């Protein structure tokens, strides 16, 4: 459930980058404070482990569907939430840069959805209370399953929220949620069982490794988390969204309308908003298309013209221009490719120094 | 140069789970010696090597490097004196490029970057790996990895080299190159290995470890002729000491003890 | 979403490093310059309005020109971009059915907003992904990591990425071997059920922990005391500034003026 760049708006991407950077900063400070020097290679190797483990798929018998683990809860159990989050963030970063699993701009969203929820919600608020200090195998399984489910459900909600607020996809909240949530419920159940099996096996083979996560007194208190992590995050997101709302009144209302939230008619725009709007209008010298109001529900938009407002002339010019652009790009590619091949041929014809 | 001496006195070690890996090992290795450490799997060779660098603290007895016993206080100095080359070079090459890896030690010792880099140049040249200095370790061949791991340890200018299975995973040519390389070093060398031909080439002296004890300690050639001893320690006569069954078919091939 | 076989993905690591080791004008730029430009480019691409297709098109020049500058094979960039499309496709494909209002016309043909936004999503995806691929293939992950650190990311975090990346190769190779060994015995008929999967992962985890211990020993043996000295760093030079400014200027121009529309309109005026 990696988010892709193509689905998010800069405001959403930017604010979640800010949130994730902040979380990485806090986690790094927290981890550093309790850091034993063996933890540095250990965290790195565990990151590589999660990466490698995610490349192996399991199959759910008699359904034919397959999946891989997220590993968030497992890392939190092994390393504690702070170091676990840091490792997960690094895994996601490498995936973003290397496998294009999720884009660079969406990296903040992905770290938030897949790292924040398992490490700072599922682990301290669900797993620890549910498992207790010395859990029996059954209780461990139970705790791991509900913690994973909770983490993944929140993560899926995060994806839905970010996609809808970005306003790129036209899916409605209920449609999106009715796909995402049940799927991630199933995934969560399986992953929970797998996680608890791994933890049990590990507790037998390397009991000291399990103790690590608990030993470091990095398990945050609930109140602490709420005060220092949730509130700033909420603040950042709120600021980003209000900025977004002030610059794109349509977009947010349109999203909220599909979330089923009724928005009151806009209050008179403040001076800043007007200034922003004016800048935006003046920047958009050639507006792309003249858009009708996106949906009827969000009719408060400023569009005064009624549909259809399509001018054949503009469209034709657009088509011609688009074709020319594509041809130019294609020509560039071909010419540069030929130039490169010629250079290579020139290079190849020179005597090559044997290695 | 008395600090090239390695001495173990009645060394015993039990792992936290109670496994007694060493049960009283004593030996003394003097300056410039090359000693092979052989014995069956699980005899305690690796545990012994970990003792030499202070990774494990003995439960009984002590290890002395030169005149110093290994204690938490002397640990830094000991680790500078004893260079350990681990069995899996991947564990040892942890930095993103060969150059960064070789400078890791000198930088930790407090050399400024420029000097650390010239040390790296020098040791890479010594092991013949100058041209791969900017490569990433994971793209190297097994032989190159081994050579770089040795260079990284040489960069710390140790007096004593400890090698764990240096010839494992090497192709015959890489193995020969390694032997030639090690031959060129004047360091005191302790080599744990199953490769008796390598031991024969490099080490005039051999210590046979079995069941956590020194089973035999003496000239390599003499020990390797002791069929009973080799048999007992799950070892095999070095190939070059076996009559060639192809050239001399009248010798029935020696019954090879399957590993 | 079809998963590529893990062995294929594994092989791709090698190729990207090989490309990153090459030497070209793009490779020689400071990693920070490339990172900033790429992030700016991605943000710019996604800042286009929902229905933009035409106005985005000129940005396709960015991957074409940059891959030429970095002497990266365009076919490689394209091949790496494709696997990233399915997720965007899956989410975007609903747009044409939900958003059916026509917003543009091609002669008699009316184009609905859904199709436009769907095309736009795919285009955005291609642009952002290919720019990221070019960044990585011309810089290498450890340099990107350094760039992050010099732009203010915590040392521990960049160190973490560095170690992760280093042992990725080793552990993935181990994972590949384990899966292969298992498949050989099951004749590839059955998939890996959750139970066996968990024990396979657990043994991979145990091996990883043991390896971490060995690495720590190797580090300690070479004087490690909890601090890793910073790596060799590149210097920001004048042409780095020039490159960043040029890219920002060119992309912003494309963002602010709908060039294809303007060119098309101008051409149509020339015609009688």
**Tokens 């390598």 appear where?**
B198
- C212 CA: distance to closest CA in chain B (Å): 8
What residues contact residue C170 under an 8 Å CB cut-off, 6+ apart?
A: A48, B90, B138, C211
What's the mean per-residue pLDDT of chain A? 72
Mean pLDDT value across residues C127-145: 86
Cβ <8 Å between C214 and B96: no
Q: How far apart are CA A103 and CA A93, in angstroms?
A: 9
Dist CA A205 CA A314 (whole Å): 70
Do the beta carbons of residue C83 and residue C4 sit within 8 Å? yes
Over 70: is that where the pLDDT of A307 sits?
A: no
Distance of CA B140 to the CA centre of its chain: 21
C156, C201, C212 ranked by CB distance to A41: nearest:
C212
For position A221, what pLDDT does the model report? 57
For chain B, 259 residues long, give each residue's pLDDT as a single digit of tens: 455 788 888 889 888 777 888 888 899 998 888 999 988 887 888 888 888 888 888 888 888 888 888 888 888 888 888 889 988 888 888 888 898 889 988 988 888 888 999 999 999 988 888 888 888 888 788 888 999 999 999 998 888 999 998 888 888 888 888 888 888 888 899 999 888 888 888 899 999 988 888 888 889 888 888 888 888 877 777 777 777 667 666 555 455 454 4
pLDDT band at residue A286 under the 50/70/90 scheme: very low
Q: Is B189 on the interface with C (CB under 8 A)?
A: no
Q: Closest chain C residue to A102 measured between Cα atoms?
A: C84
Residue in B138, B142, B156 to test binding to C, most C beta-carbons within 10 Å: B138
pLDDT digits (tens, 9 = 90+) for A238-275: 666 665 555 544 444 444 444 443 333 333 334 444 44
Please give the Cα distance from C65 to C138 (Å, whole number).
Answer: 13
Q: Is B76 on the interface with C (CB under 8 A)?
A: yes
Mean pLDDT of A103-107: 83
- Average pLDDT of the segment spanning C244-256: 88
Are B46 and B192 a contacting pair, CB within 8 Å?
yes
Higher local confidence (pLDDT), B205 or C151: B205
- Both tokens of residue A86? 């840091």
What's the CA gap between B168 and B97, in Å, rounded? 23
Domain assignment of residue B209, yes or no: yes
Taken in order C88, C93, C98, C99, is the CA torsion positive or negative?
A: positive
Is the confidence at residue C13, as pLDDT, over 60? yes
User: Which phi-psi region, left, alpha or beta, contains residue B10 (left: φ > 0; alpha: ψ -120 to 50)?
Assistant: left
Find which of A25, A40, A91, A240 to mutate to test the C interface (most C CBs within 10 Å of its CB).
Answer: A40
Query: Cβ–Cβ of B109/C218 closer than 8 Å?
Result: no
**Ordered strands of the B6-14 beta sheet:** B20-29, B6-14, B60-65, B68-69
Identify the pLDDT of residue B191.
92
- Residue identified by tokens 């050579």 is B147
- CA-nearest residue of chain B to C227? B108
The verdict on B88 touching C (C-beta cutoff 8 Å) is: yes
Task: Read off the tokens for A140.
Answer: 């461990």
* Residue C53 forms contact with A (CB below 8 Å): yes
What is d(CA B55, CA B162) in angstroms, rounded to the nearest whole number? 13
Mean pLDDT over A28-44 rounds to: 82
pLDDT reading at C4 higher than 60: no
CB contact (8 A) between residue B108 and residue C222: yes
CB-based contacts of A345, cutoff 8 Å, min separation 6: none
In this predicted structure, the answer to whether residue A297 has a pLDDT above a threshold of 60 is no
CB C109, CB A128: distance < 8 Å: no
Per-residue pLDDT for C237 more than 60? yes
Q: Which of B93, B96, B132, B165 should one mutate to test binding to chain C, selecting the residue with the greatest count of C CBs within 10 A? A: B96
Tell me which chain C residues have a C-beta less than 8 angstroms from the C-beta of B138. Answer: 166, 169-170
Q: Which of B53, B91, B152 sits opposite C211 (nearest CB)?
A: B91
Residues of C in contact with A10 (CB under 8 A): 43, 46-47
pLDDT at A350: 63
Q: Which domain holds residue B232?
A: 2-97+155-241
**Average pLDDT value for residue range A12-19:** 86
pLDDT single digits (tens) A309-349: 445 556 677 777 788 888 888 888 888 888 888 887 887 77
| Tokens coding C139 | 């810089």
Q: Distance between CA atoms of A149 and A335, rounded to whole angstroms? A: 53
Pairwise CA distance, residues A302 & A321, whole Å:
28
Three-state SS string across A285-323, please?
CCCCCCCCCCCCCCCCCCCCCCCCCCCHHHHHHHHHHHH
Parallel, antiparallel, or unpaired for β A58-59 and B188-192?
unpaired
In a domain, B110, yes or no: no
Chain C residue numbers with beta carbons less than 8 Å from the beta carbon of B99 are 232
Cβ-based contacts of A21 with chain C (< 8 Å): 153
Tell me what percent of chain C is helix, strand and coil, each rounded to the nearest 5.
75, 5, 25
Chains touching C (3+ CB pairs < 8 Å) = A, B
Residue at token pair 């839905």 = A160
SS3 B167: coil
β-pair type (B188-192, B68-69):
unpaired
Given a cut of 50, is residue A44 above it in pLDDT? yes
- Residue C248 in contact with partner chain A when CB distance is under 8 A: no
Helix axes A312-349, C74-81, angle to 10 degrees: 130
Nearest CA in chain A to C107: A312
pLDDT for A266 equals: 35
The model's confidence at residue A87, banded by pLDDT at 50, 70 and 90, is very high
Å from C237 to nearest chain A CA? 25
pLDDT band at A230 (very low <50, low <70, confident <90, very high): low
Query: Does residue B174 sit within a domain?
Result: yes
**pLDDT (mean) for C236-253:** 88
Give residue B62's pLDDT. Answer: 87
The predicted structure's pLDDT at residue B207? 92
φ, ψ (nearest 5 deg) of residue A27: -60, -40
Q: Provide the chain C residues 105-144 that lie in CB contact (below 8 A) with chain A.
A: 105-107, 110, 113-114, 116-117, 120-125, 128-129, 132-133, 135-136, 141, 144
Q: Is B70 exposed, middle or buried (0-12, 13-18, 19+ CB in 10 A)?
A: buried
Q: How confident is the model at residue A280 (pLDDT cuts 50, 70, 90)?
A: very low
Record: contact A332-C65, CB cut-off 8 A: yes
Nearest to A109 by CA among A85, A87, A89, A132: A89
Can you tell me the distance from the alpha carbon of C240 to that of C139, in angstroms, rounded to the nearest whole number? 14
| Element holding C104 (H helix, E strand) | strand C102-106
Query: Which residues in chain A belong to E strands, given as ranges?
Result: 58-59, 66-67
Indicate the number of domains in chain B. Answer: 1
pLDDT of residue A212: 57
Dihedral of the alpha carbons of B26, B32, B38, B44, in degrees to the nearest 10: 40
Helix (H) or strand (E) holding C103: strand C102-106
Residue B216 in 3-state DSSP?
A: strand
Q: Inspect the interface and report whether the beta carbons of C221 and B113 lie closer than 8 Å.
A: no
Query: Cβ(B170)–Cβ(B178) under 8 Å?
Result: yes
Q: For residues C51 and A5, give the distance between their C-alpha atoms in angstroms, rounded to a whole number.
A: 16
DSSP string of C42-82, one letter each residue: HHHHHTS-TT-STTTGGGGHHHHHHHHHTT--HHHHHHHHG
* Structural domain includes residue B255: no
Kindly state whether residue B9 falls inside one of the protein's structural domains. yes
**Burial, A3: exposed, middle or buried (Cβ in 10 Å; 0-12, 13-18, 19+)?**
buried
Question: Residue A101: which of B158, B210, C80 has the closest Cα?
Answer: C80
Q: What is the mean pLDDT of residues C124-153?
A: 85
Q: Within a 13 Å sphere around the CA of C252, how many CA atoms are in the beta-carbon half?
A: 9
Q: Which residues contact B72 (CB under 8 A, 6 or more apart)?
A: none
Share of chain C above pLDDT 90, in %: 2
pLDDT band at C2 (very low <50, low <70, confident <90, very high): very low
Q: Is residue B162 part of a domain?
A: yes
Across the interface, whether the CB atoms of B90 and C170 are under 8 A apart is answered: yes
Report strand pairing: B205-210 vs B34-38.
parallel
CA distance C91 to A164: 11
Q: Which residues from chain C sit within 8 angstroms of residue A56, using beta carbons?
A: 6, 175, 179, 192, 197, 200-201
Find the helix or strand (DSSP H, E) in which B192 lies: strand B188-192
Q: What is the DSSP string of C241-254?
A: HHHHHHHHHHHHHH
State the pLDDT confidence band at A227, using cuts at 50, 70 and 90: low
DSSP B127-153: TT-GGGTTS-GGGS-HHHHHHHHHHHH
H or E segment to which residue C268 belongs: helix C259-270
Question: Which residues of chain C does B162 touch, with a Cβ-Cβ cutoff of 8 Å?
Answer: none
Inter-chain CB proximity B137 and C211 less than 8 Å:
no
Q: Name chain C contacts of B72, Cβ cutoff 8 Å.
A: none
What is chain B's percent helix, strand, coil content, to nearest 5? 40, 25, 40
**What residues contact residue C139 under an 8 Å CB cut-off, 6+ apart?**
C20, C27, C31, C34, C35, C147
Of the partner residues A24, A205, A332, the one whose CB lies closest to the CB of residue C157: A24
CATH of the domain at B31: 3.40.50.300
What is the rounded distance in angstroms from the CA atom of residue A303 to the CA atom of residue C111?
19
Mean pLDDT value of segment C36-40: 90
């Amino acid at each position: 459930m990696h988010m892709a760049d193509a689905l998010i708006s800069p405001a959403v991407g930017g604010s979640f980058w800010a949130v994730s950077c902040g979380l990485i900063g806090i986690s790094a400070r927290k981890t550093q404070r309790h850091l034993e020097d063996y933890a540095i290679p250990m965290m790195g190797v565990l990151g590589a482990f999660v990466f490698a483990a995610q490349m192996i798929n399991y199959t759910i018998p008699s359904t034919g569907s397959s999946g891989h683990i997220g590993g968030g809860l497992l890392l939190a159990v092994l390393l504690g939430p702070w170091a676990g989050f840091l490792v997960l963030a690094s895994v996601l970063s490498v995936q973003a840069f290397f496998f294009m699993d999720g884009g660079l701009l969406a990296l903040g969203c992905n770290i938030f959805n897949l790292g924040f929820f398992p490490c700072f919600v599922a682990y301290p608020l669900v797993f620890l209370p549910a498992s207790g200090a010395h859990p029996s195998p059954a209780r461990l399984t139970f705790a791991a399953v509900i913690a994973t489910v909770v983490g993944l459900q929140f993560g899926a909600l995060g994806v839905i929220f970010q996609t809808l607020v970005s306003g790129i996809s036209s899916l409605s909240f209920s449609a999106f949620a009715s796909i995402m949530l049940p799927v991630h419920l199933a995934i969560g159940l399986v992953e929970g069982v797998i996680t608890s099996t791994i933890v049990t096996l590990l507790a037998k083979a390397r009991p000291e490794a399990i103790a690590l996560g608990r030993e470091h007194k990095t398990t945050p208190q609930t109140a602490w988390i709420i005060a220092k992590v949730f509130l700033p995050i909420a603040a950042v997101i709120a600021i980003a969204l209000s900025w977004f709302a002030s610059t794109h009144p349509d977009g947010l209302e349109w999203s909220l309308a599909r979330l089923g939230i009724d928005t009151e008619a806009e209050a008179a725009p403040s001076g800043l908003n007007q200034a922003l709007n004016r800048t935006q209008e003046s920047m958009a010298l050639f507006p792309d298309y003249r858009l009708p109001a996106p949906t009827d529900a969000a009719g408060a938009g400023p569009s005064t013209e009624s549909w259809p407002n399509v001018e054949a002339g503009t469209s034709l010019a657009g088509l011609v221009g688009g074709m020319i652009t594509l041809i130019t790009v294609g020509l560039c590619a071909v010419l540069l490719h030929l130039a490169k091949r010629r250079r290579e041929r020139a290079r190849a014809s020179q005597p090559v120094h044997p290695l | 140069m008395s600090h090239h001496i390695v001495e173990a006195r009645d060394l015993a070690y039990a792992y936290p789970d109670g496994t007694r890996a060493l049960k009283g090992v004593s030996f003394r290795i003097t300056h410039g010696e090359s000693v092979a450490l052989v014995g069956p799997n699980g005899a305690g060779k690796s545990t012994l090597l970990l003792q030499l660098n202070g990774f494990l603290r003995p439960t009984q007895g002590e290890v002395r490097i030169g005149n110093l016993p290994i204690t938490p206080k002397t640990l830094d100095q000991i680790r500078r004196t004893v260079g350990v080359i681990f069995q899996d070079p991947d564990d040892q090459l942890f930095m993103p490029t060969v150059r960064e890896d070789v400078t890791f030690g000198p930088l930790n010792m407090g050399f400024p970057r420029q000097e650390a880099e010239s040390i790296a140049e020098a040791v890479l040249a010594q092991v013949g790996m100058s041209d791969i200095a900017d490569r990433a370790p994971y793209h190297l061949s097994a032989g190159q990895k081994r050579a770089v791991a040795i260079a990284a340890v040489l960069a710390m200018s140790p007096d004593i080299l400890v090698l764990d299975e240096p010839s494992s995973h090497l192709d015959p040519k890489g193995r020969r190159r390694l032997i030639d390389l090690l031959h060129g070093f004047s360091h005191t060398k302790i080599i744990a290995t199953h490769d008796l031909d390598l031991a024969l080439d490099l080490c005039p002296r051999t210590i046979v470890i079995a069941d956590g004890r020194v089973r035999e300690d003496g000239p390599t050639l003499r020990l390797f002729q002791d069929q009973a001893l080799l048999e007992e320690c799950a070892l095999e006569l070095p190939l070059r000491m076996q009559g060639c069954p192809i050239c001399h078919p009248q010798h029935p091939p020696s019954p090879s003890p399957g590993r | 979403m079809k998963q590529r076989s893990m062995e294929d993905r594994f092989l791709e690591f090698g190729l990207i490093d090989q490309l990153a080791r090459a030497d070209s004008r793009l490779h020689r730029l400071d990693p920070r310059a490339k990172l900033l430009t790429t992030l700016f480019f991605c943000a710019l691409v996604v800042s286009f309005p929902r229905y933009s297709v035409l106005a985005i098109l000129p940005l396709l020049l960015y991957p074409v020109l940059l891959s030429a500058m970095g002497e990266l094979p365009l076919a490689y960039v394209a091949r790496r971009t494709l696997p990233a499309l399915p997720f965007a496709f899956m989410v975007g494909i609903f747009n044409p059915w939900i958003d059916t209002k026509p917003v543009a016309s091609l002669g008699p043909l009316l184009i609905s907003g859904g199709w436009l936004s769907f095309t736009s999503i795919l285009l955005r995806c291609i642009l952002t992904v290919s720019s990221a691929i070019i960044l990585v293939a011309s810089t290498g992950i450890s340099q990107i990591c350094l760039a992050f650190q010099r732009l203010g990311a915590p040392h521990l975090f960049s160190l973490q990425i560095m170690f992760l990346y280093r042992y990725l190769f080793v552990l993935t190779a181990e994972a590949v071997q384990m899966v292969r060994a298992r498949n050989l015995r099951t004749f590839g008929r059955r998939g890996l059920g959750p139970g066996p999967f968990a024990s396979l992962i657990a043994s991979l985890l145990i091996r990883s922990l043991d390896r971490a211990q060995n690495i720590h020993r190797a580090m300690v043996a070479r004087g490690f005391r909890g601090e890793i000295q910073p790596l060799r760093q590149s210097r920001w030079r004048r042409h780095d500034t020039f490159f960043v400014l040029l890219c920002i200027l060119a992309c912003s121009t494309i963002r602010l003026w709908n060039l294809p529309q303007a060119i098309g309109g101008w051409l149509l005026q020339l015609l009688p």
